[in-house]
A and B are shown apart, each in its own frame.
Chain A
């Protein structure tokens, strides 16, 4: 199952590695944004299935509001990826959950698969390890 994915991450190295991992898994990375504004612009321009959103971006801790907006208003499935999952302890409406960084290919793969299955309404038996679900 190939998906169109947006990476929103201000650490270039982390974003690049993530892009390679996702592409290795057969997904199409539509773009990498380092700020909430750039991410919004991209999401408006291009059709995206899934966004991997860091919370701390170049323009501050703007990832939470961005994730909510993408999920609730723009129909994008949102997974947070952050070194500080405590920031979204209470959950963010319209998003799936949070992966704690650093992570590995397996965790990324299972989390992305899980999110995409949910997006398509497929039955999922259990949440993959390493992914904390909201709600």
Chain B
């Protein structure tokens, strides 16, 4: 009997506990192998109690026991916990006399243990897990006999061997389980092993399933002929050829083909294997794995078909774009230019790709760049179509006028996916337009000049006949009014348009009445109401009507004294356009004039003859009031006609 040298163990308790758990023996069922060993130990040592005792963190647990009747007891009363601290084992001849156990309830009370002999159960690493021990209720001052001690040592080793066996089995199970789970999880991999000489293919469940073969047959092994019929007929010859090549000396095997599985579904698989040869070069074994590719194939096929369709539509687009007489370009939603057709490169002569991104703007005339950039930015922000005329640098070095247009392509969600744009060379057109503008300007100038020459001629003629001065003045002012009206209605160019502002009725009338101003330069004819536009067909009538009204007012009415004023109100009433000329603060009127002058006839003719309206005159004492009630279309008959045509055609 020896005492422990010290209370501190030679191992890390946490490590010992981890290793103990690694054996996977705690809390397992009783096993005959262990039960037999404790029974033998008890018999040989002539002890009523024997146990295989494992020391856990806070308990001792008995893998096997005889004479005790329990499977675990608290650590506090454990004899073995003490034994663990010793190298080989521990013998307590009389516990009642041993200070370590004298107070132990198992000694002082039932079952009144007195004798203990334990043999340490140590792992190969030297960690003590517990003991094989025998106990007696009577003291044994003589201890164990030599034979008994040897038997306990041997049986202890046996226990440890059983433990090691279980640990090894458990580790193998674990790793096999991991591998199997991995295979199952992949769900796509099957394995085979072909004994070529015996023609016996052993295959796992997955392989059997893929080939539609009974898994039991596959596990036990079957000739390769049992598997081949599952391969689709179209692929079979190819697979057999691949097998022959591998067996013929190649060794490595890889083949992709279709099989019909146990549910009759067609699956794409890839098989990889390796042929092993004997010393004579004859194939002996041919193991390998198959992987189910069906889902990947499906994805690949879908991708391929999308790619094909894309490339087809892309090719079509390019052919179309290159065939177009215009330059075609396209940008990403953010405006990054990533495509130009052949025409663009032909026109600009720049290297392909050099105008990608924002490089395009440098191709335009520096004066046009800020404008182009601003418009383009606006379109990008709002999605509005882009349209601009700018000068694009031709490869010859000259700038040519170009019409740029672009529209956004939207997806189902209404988001812009691309911009497609064109540039059309309109340089010729622009030149023609400029030429036409020049001619138009020249013509307009000459027409106005003719009016000037005619009035000069009248004035000069009248100088020879002083009695005709009044007549000539009236005629000249009428012609001047016509000339003004002409200026308002003829087609205008940028340089020829009137300098007075918009070419509306009010603008024209303000100009016509420009001569009638009061002492501070304010017009004596106040114009208000709804404005309108008038065309060349109405111009003569409008000019003559208001010229006559104004000259008449200047001779006899409100404009003939210093205080009088005229208010001219225009308004639209449904399909009528009404002009009301009201004179106030002029000399009081005595009633209608005794005779109608030529001017009045002209006014009447203009309204009722030319404009198809009604002219009413009231000679009120406070001043003349004239109402011209015209069809709304009278002022611009051509426009109205065009609108009517548009309306019908749409």
- Which residues of A are interface residues toward B (Cβ below 8 A)? 11, 13-14, 16-18, 20-21, 56, 83-87, 89, 98, 100-104, 106-107, 125-127, 129-130, 132
Q: How far is the CB of B444 from chain A (nearest CB, A)?
A: 7
B449, B455, B480, B496 pick with most chain A CB within 10 angstroms: B449
State in angstroms the CA–CA spacing of A82 and B412 once bound together.
60
B612 within 8 Å of A by Cβ?
no
Q: Determine if B517 and A129 form an interchain contact, defined as CB atoms under 8 angstroms apart.
A: yes
Does B498 reach chain A (CB closer than 8 Å)?
Answer: yes
Residue of A nearest to B449 (CB): A83
Contact B514 A130 (CB under 8 A): yes
Give 8 closest A-B pairs by Cβ, nearest first. A126-B521, A83-B448, A17-B456, A129-B514, A102-B452, A101-B452, A102-B455, A14-B456
B445 within 8 A of A: yes
Q: How far is the CB of A111 from chain B (nearest CB, A)?
A: 12
Residues of A within 8 A of B517 (CB): 126, 129
B479 and A13 within 8 A (CB)? no
A102 in contact with B483 given A17-B459, A129-B517 (CB within 8 Å): yes
Chain A residues contacting B456 (CB-CB under 8 Å) are 11, 13-14, 16-18, 102
A104 touches B477 (CB 8 A): yes
- What's the least CB distance linking A56 to chain B, in Å? 6
B521 and A86: CB pair below 8 A?
no
B515 touches A102 (CB 8 A): no
B157–chain A nearest beta-carbon distance, Å: 119
Q: Which of B504-532 contact A (CB under 8 A)?
A: 514-517, 520-521
Smallest beta-carbon distance B526→chain A, Å: 15
In the complex, besides A14-B456, A83-B451, A125-B520, 19 extra interface pairs with C-beta distance below 8 angstroms are A11-B453, A20-B460, A21-B459, A83-B445, A84-B448, A84-B496, A86-B497, A86-B499, A100-B484, A101-B451, A102-B451, A102-B456, A102-B476, A102-B480, A103-B452, A104-B455, A125-B521, A129-B515, A132-B500
Chain B 430-474 per-residue mask, 1 if CB under 8 angstroms from chain A, else 0: 000000000001001100110111111101100100000000010
Contacting pair A101 B515 (CB below 8 A): no
- Per the bound structure, the CA–CA distance linking A87 and B448 in Å amounts to 14
Task: Kindly state the separation between the CA atoms of A83 and B444 in the bound complex, as whole angstroms.
Answer: 9
Task: Report how far A106 CA is from B495 CA in the complex, Å.
Answer: 27
B452 touches A86 (CB 8 A): no
Residue of B nearest to A13 (CB): B456
Known contacts A86-B497, A89-B495; A14/B463 CB under 8 A: no
For the complex formed, measure the closest distance between the CB of A127 and the CB atoms of chain B, giving whole angstroms: 7
Contact A84 B441 (CB under 8 A): yes
B520 A126 Cβ-Cβ under 8 A: yes
Contacting residue for A13 out of B445, B453, B473, B483, CB 8 A: B453
Bound-complex Cα distance A18 to B444 (A): 22
C-alpha spacing A127/B452, complex, angstroms: 23
Partner of B460, one of A13, A86, A101: A13
Number of B residues, CB within 8 Å of A: 35
Kindly report which residue of chain B lies nearest to residue A98, judged by CB atoms. Answer: B499
Q: A11-B453, A84-B441 are in contact. Are A16 and B460 (CB under 8 A)?
A: yes
Question: Could you tell me if B448 and A101 are in contact, using CB atoms closer than 8 angstroms?
Answer: yes
Inter-chain CA distance A20–B521, complex, in Å, is: 27
A-B contact pairs, 25 of them (CB 8 A): A11-B456, A13-B456, A17-B457, A20-B460, A56-B445, A83-B448, A83-B452, A84-B444, A84-B445, A86-B496, A86-B497, A98-B499, A101-B451, A102-B451, A102-B454, A102-B476, A102-B483, A104-B455, A104-B476, A107-B515, A125-B521, A126-B520, A126-B521, A127-B521, A129-B517
Complex: A85 Cα to B496 Cα, angstroms: 8
In the complex, which of the residues B452, B500, B515, B516 has the most CB atoms of chain A within 10 Å of its own CB atom?
A: B452
In this complex, which of A11, A16, A83 has the most chain B Cβ atoms within 10 angstroms of its Cβ?
A: A83
Residues of B within 8 A of A21 (CB): 459
Q: With A and B bound together, what is the CA distance between A94 and B453 in angstroms?
A: 28
Closest to B458 in A: A17
- Chain B residues near A17: list those with CB within 8 A: 455-457, 459-460
Establish whether residues B515 and A130, one from each chain, have CB atoms under 8 Å apart when the complex forms.
Answer: yes
| Chain B positions within 8 Å of A13 at CB level | 453, 456-457, 460
Please report the C-alpha to C-alpha distance between residue A40 and residue B449 in the assembled complex, in whole angstroms: 24
Known: A20-B460, A20-B463. A103 touches B499 (CB 8 A): no
User: Across the interface, do A102 and B499 meet the contact criterion of CB distance under 8 Å?
Assistant: no
Residues of B within 8 A of A56 (CB): 445, 449
B459 contact set on A, CB distance < 8 A: 17, 20-21
Distance between Cα atoms of A21 and B463 in the complex (Å): 10
List of B residues within 8 angstroms of A101 by Cβ: 448-449, 451-452
Q: What is the CA–CA distance of A17 and B448 in the complex, to the nearest angstrom?
A: 16
Complex Cα distance, B444 from A129, in Å, reads 23
Separation in Å of the A107 CB from the closest CB of chain B? 7
Specify which of B452, B476, B487, B520 is in contact with A14 (CB 8 Å cutoff).
Answer: B452
Contact check: which of B455, B498, B516 meets A86 at CB < 8 Å? Answer: B498
Q: How far is the CA of A18 from the CA of B457 in the complex (A)?
A: 11
Interface centre among B455, B473, B477 (most CB of A within 10 A): B455
Please state if B444 and A102 are interface contacts (CB–CB under 8 Å). no
Cα of A13 to Cα of B517 in the assembled complex, Å: 30
Central interface residue in A18, A86, A104, by most chain B CB within 10 Å:
A86
CA A98 – CA B487 in complex, angstroms?
A: 16
**C-alpha gap A125/B498 in the complex (Å):** 25
Q: With CB as the reference atom, state the residue of chain A lying closest to B497.
A: A86
Contacting residue for A85 out of B457, B473, B499, CB 8 A = B499
Given contacts A17-B459, A20-B459, A102-B479, contact A11 B449 (CB under 8 A): yes
Q: In the bound complex, how far is the Cα of B497 from the Cα of A86, in angstroms?
A: 6
**Least Cβ distance of A124 to chain B in Å?**
10
Q: How many angstroms from the CA of A11 to the CA of B445 in the assembled complex?
A: 13
Residues of A within 8 A of B445 (CB): 56, 83-84
Which of chain B's residues 15-72 have a Cβ closer than 8 Å to chain A? none
| Complex CA–CA separation, A102 to B458 (angstroms) | 12
Q: Give the interface centre of B448, B457, B479, B516 by most chain A CB atoms within 10 Å.
A: B448
The residue in chain A whose Cβ has the minimal distance to the Cβ of B517 is A129
Would you give the shortest CB distance from B171 to chain A, in whole angstroms?
Answer: 100
Q: With a CB–CB cut-off of 8 A, which chain B residues contact A16?
A: 456, 460
* Chain B residues within 8 Å of A89, by CB: 495, 499
